[in-house]
Amino acid sequence: MAAKAFKALILGPPGGGKGTLSKRLVRDFGFCHFSAGDALRAEIAAGSAIGNKAKDYIGRGALVPDELVTDLVLGQLENLKNEPRWLLDGFPRHAAQAVALDAKHDVDLVLDLDIPEAEILSRLGGRRVHVASGRSYHVEWNPPKREGIDDETGEPLVIRPDDTEEAIKKRLQHRT
């Protein structure tokens, strides 16, 4: 039996738990998950034209321009046109992005996570990532077995440039 078509968005501030909740929704409801942030990081790793443009912004802890993110996300959603159930994580962030998405796709459900700024600063300030895999740790709540080292590969963990307090506050100010 085919799954009922269902398109959903999960929105919220950076570090608000979108990725964690998305994993559970994928597991429990069979969504195909697409993260705008993960897609940007993948484009950067691949050295694509979009990735090279985004790399400069992210490296400075700045927001990637709406138009660039919109082009990336809408292009990637075309690849999911045969998926009956998808969950879009972290997009749209602004009204112009929402209008562009609405022109191309009908959305059935929007989850918007409301997390206090102090909590976001705590979550992101303690986040450490394994760049190659995207695995994420937290120094207090989900520490690696060895400090600063990925559990699976033994490679170093890093603090993302956009996880500094200054960059986090800037990202929170620009969220609508």
93 in active site: yes
d(CA 122, CA 33): 26
User: Is residue 41 annotated as a catalytic residue, yes or no?
Assistant: no
Active-site residue identified among 55, 85, 127, 128? 127
Assess whether 175 carries a catalytic annotation.
no
Element (H, E) at 69: helix 66-79
Confirm whether 146 is a catalytic residue. Answer: no
| CA pair distance 19, 150, nearest whole angstrom | 19
Name the catalytic one among 7, 85, 123, 171: 171
- Of 7, 55, 85, 93, catalytic: 93
* DSSP assigned state of 163: G
Q: Please pick, among 7, 18, 55, 85, the residue that the annotation labels catalytic.
A: 18
- Check if 160 is active-site: yes
Instruction: Give 89's strand partners.
Output: 10, 35
SS3 165: helix
With a CB cutoff of 8 Å and minimum separation 6, the contacts of 107 are 7, 8, 9, 101
CA–CA gap between residue 165 and residue 152 (Å, rounded): 28
Q: Which residues are catalytic?
A: 18, 93, 127, 160, 171
